[in-house]
Amino acid sequence: MPRNIREFHRAPTSARALELLGRVATPTAALVPGPRLPDPLFAHAEAVVDLRALPLNNMRVEKDEIYLGALVDLQSMVKSTTLAAVADGILGEAAALAAHFGLRNLATIAGAIDGATDAPPGPPEVLLALLAMGAEVTTLAHGDRRTPLVSYRPAKEDALCEIILPIGAPMRGALARVARSPLDQAIVAVTAAITPTRARVAVAGAAPAAFVVEANAGTEPATTVAELVNAVAAHVAPQGDYRGSAAYRRAMAEVLARRALTQAFSNEANS
């Protein structure tokens, strides 16, 4: 934890949280721990805001949607029977891959999203699962305005409020990844989620940021798989690092997209 933190605030309301986060004279960061800590935001912050007093730590099902508060911890997602029943449990599986047990008790879904968006060092699977499932988000500043997760970008002066998953249509899913060890951060990771009408693939490790491609799912699975794999191939723009070269990442994006999609369709066929 950086030693530059001079103020600690507990925000009793969203308004107070936003007020604190919006300060210019005293750079302030929200305490939204992710799986990779400490939060890089803290390096430039002089104050932090604890959001635990806000009602952000619950998971509920309403109509055809699941609402996940921004502070729901990753271990709760791993254990959630509600999430396990959606898209073959890829969100819980993704949460399990994000960090070890102790960090999952501490890290939040919002932290996992913020830490994996744009050019992140953080584990990507939670973000990918949510992207493939077509999640939407709200923020403290815009509590009544939903934004597709794919369009969301973290802002220092705001914080995630809720993540909303559509479950109106039956959804199957699969996650595929390659890493140096079973629980190491993925070199390339892919999630796939399919409903009767749409198929969506989210990819990380093969471009500067995670990306999503989607297609109609009304045709033969093989056709959809081919279409989406081609789309993935068209989107990849990998940068190599010590875990894997650009060429390897490019190849793996296609391999894993095909694998995840095939698995998801297989799950559907077997359901």
Partner 1 sequence: MNIQINLNNQARTFTIEAGETLMALLRRSGLWSVKHGCETGECGACSVLVDGKLMPTCVLLAAEMDGRAVTTVEAFDRGPGAPLDPIQQAFAETGAIQCGFCTPAMVLAARQLLDAEPNPSEAQVREVLGGVLCRCTGYVKPVEAVLRAAALLRGEAVPPIDAPGGIPLEGFFDAMRRSPEPELPGPDSDVVTQTKVAFFSFPTVDTQTATDVVGRPEMKVDAVKLVKGKPVFADDVDLPGMLHAAMLTSPHAHARITHIDADAARALPGVHAVLTYEDVPRVIYASGGQTWPNPHPWDQVSLDNKVRHVGDRVAVVAAESPEIAQAALALIEVDYAVLPAIFDPIATMNPGAPVLHDEPDAVGIADVERNIAVKIHAVVGDTQQGLAEADYVFERTYHVHQVQQASIEPHVVVTYWDEDERLVIRTSTQVPFHVRRMIAPLIGLPVKRIRVIKPRIGGGFGGKQEMLIEDLCAHLTLATGRPVRFEYTREQEFSSARSRHPMVLTYRAGVNRDGTLHALDLYVVSNTGAYGTHGLTVCSVSGLRGLATYRCTHMQFTADIVYTNIPTPGAFRGYGAPQAEFALESLMEEIATALNLDPVEFRLKNAVRSGDPVPITAALGEGEGGRQPQIVQSCGLEQCVAQGAAAIAWDKKDDPAWRVDPARPYIRRGLGMAVCMHGTAIPGMDMGAASIKMNDDGSFNVLVGGTDLGTGSDTVLAQIAAETLGAPLNDIIIYSSDTDFTPFDTGAYASSTTYISGGAVKKAAEQVRDQILARAALMLKLDAVDDLSLRNRQVTAPDGRSVTLADVALHSLHVADHQQIMATASHMSMHSPPPFGAQYAEVEVDTQTGQVTTTKLIMAVDCGTAINPRTAEGQIEGGMVQALGYALCEEMVYDEAGRSLATRFGDYRILQADEMPEVQAILVPTYEPSGPYGAKAVAEIPMDGVAPAIANAVYDAVGVRIRDLPITPEKVWKALQSE
Site residues, partner 1 (CB under 8 A) = 1-8, 10, 31, 33, 36-38, 47-48, 50, 52, 75, 100-106, 178-185, 187, 241-245, 248, 251-252, 255-256, 259
In the bound state with partner 1, the residue whose beta carbon lies nearer, of 31 and 161, is 31
DSSP for the chain, please give it: --TT--EEEE-SSHHHHHHHHT-SSS-EEE----SSSS-GGGGG-SEEEE-TTSS-S-EEEETTEEEEETT-BHHHHHH-HHHHTSGGGHHHHHHHHHS-HHHHHH-BHHHHHHTTSSS--S--HHHHHHHHTT-EEEESTTTT--EEGGG----TT--EEEEEEE-SS--EEEEEEE-SSTTSPPSEEEEEEE-SSEEEEEEESSSSS-EEEEEE--S-HHHHHHHHHHHHHHH-----BTTB-HHHHHHHHHHHHHHHHHHHHHHHHH-
Min CB(166)–partner 1 separation in Å: 30
In the bound state with partner 1, the residue whose beta carbon lies nearer, of 82 and 262, is 262
Min CB(250)–partner 1 separation in Å: 12
Min CB(24)–partner 1 separation in Å: 19
In the bound state with partner 1, the residue whose beta carbon lies nearer, of 59 and 179, is 179
In the bound state with partner 1, the residue whose beta carbon lies nearer, of 21 and 137, is 21
Min CB(184)–partner 1 separation in Å: 5
Min CB(94)–partner 1 separation in Å: 15
In the bound state with partner 1, the residue whose beta carbon lies nearer, of 1 and 234, is 1
